[in-house]
Amino acid sequence: MSRTSLDHPLAGIYSAAITPINVDLQPDLDGMPDLLAFLAQRGCHGAIILGTTGEGPSFSPEQRIDIYQAALQIRQVYPGFRLLAGTGTPSLDETIRLTQAAFDFGFDGVVVLPPYYYRKVNDHGLFQWFSKVIESSVPEGGHFLGYHIPDVSGVPLSIELLARLKDAFPNRFKGIKDSSGSPAYAATLGSHFGKDLVVLTGNDRLLSIAIENQASGCITACANLISPDLRKVWEAFLRGDNDPLTQEKINLARQVIECYPPLPSVIKCLLATKFGFPQWSVCPPLLPTEDAVCHSIISQLNLA
């Protein structure tokens, strides 16, 4: 594996950050900088704001703008902390406005879902949609990453589509968050694009496999909890080595936590129970995780 993929400005460990929410279901804007500082202290290079774990689709555009701005406060203490914005919605206009706002605010990049309401669309239609977003809202040299999470969105991003976007927008379409959970797809991304496409895996269990196939790091829900171990594996590869024992520890943690969906609920409960954060709410239709479940998970894991 070429180490070049780990030298990219976006390479590293990112948390798919939860979104602090008050009991009235409004964003806890004051809580966001505290959460991000916690993640920075525990080895995260950055975070995605309002991704899947951050319940992005549950918020209005106005709320999302407020949350993006609240996240920017982390840079007063950690100026190098990288911020990615989840901006994809089924609405072309809304996605353009959110993406433009993220770049105007100085975010390092955006991670954009495909339009996920109409699922039986072809690559040509998706290319037109993504092209409109990129042309209208991404500055030259901006980092635009597609979000491949077919089990949730129902709209996969094919290798052919990624190649077409990369060819059309070489200075703006920079990569992909791959949350397919497929080792075969991770290997195909590496063999087809090499270091020319930034790949950040969305599955903790695939971190080592993905990096071996030219990925640059990860963006994961479990990074809210186990980022020190994820950073340890990433650092090992940066040295030209690997750390299978820590990867196995990560695999166990992911396996346990996945038994108690949905992830935003269980992660918020674990952050409160183990690390002293407030008992933040989740937006319906998600429901909170019971305290007894959190204690059961903690007893199965070695969260430090």
pLDDT digits (tens, 9 = 90+) for 252-286: 999 999 999 999 999 999 999 999 999 999 999 99
- Provide mean pLDDT across the span 294-299: 89
Considering the domain boundaries, does residue 251 fall inside one? Answer: no
| pLDDT tens digits for range 17-36 | 999 999 999 999 999 999 99
Domain assignment present for 258: no
Asked whether residue 257 is domain-assigned, the answer is no
Inside any domain, residue 143: yes
Cα–Cα distance between 9 and 152 in angstroms, integer?
28
Q: Provide the 10 A C-beta neighbour count for residue 73.
A: 15
Q: Is residue 289 part of a domain?
A: no
- pLDDT one-digit tens code per residue, 119-147: 999 999 999 999 999 999 999 999 999 99
pTM given for the model: 0.95
Domain presence at residue 248:
no
36 within domain boundaries: yes
The structural domain count of the chain equals: 1
Q: What percent of the chain stands above pLDDT 70? A: 98
Beta-bridge partners for 27: 21
Tokens of 24: 């009235």
- CATH code of the domain covering residue 208: 3.20.20.70
| Domain limits for position 82 | 3-241
CB atoms within 10 A of CB 115: 21
Contact (Cβ atoms closer than 8 angstroms) between residue 176 and residue 189: yes
Place of tokens 């992911």: 254
DSSP string covering 112-175: E----S--S--HHHHHHHHHHHHHHH--TT--EEEEE-HHHHS----HHHHHHHHHH-TTTEEE
Q: Which two tokens stand for residue 45?
A: 């290079």
User: Exposure of 280 by Cβ count < 10 A (0-12 exposed, 13-18 middle, 19+ buried)?
Assistant: buried
- 292, part of any domain: no
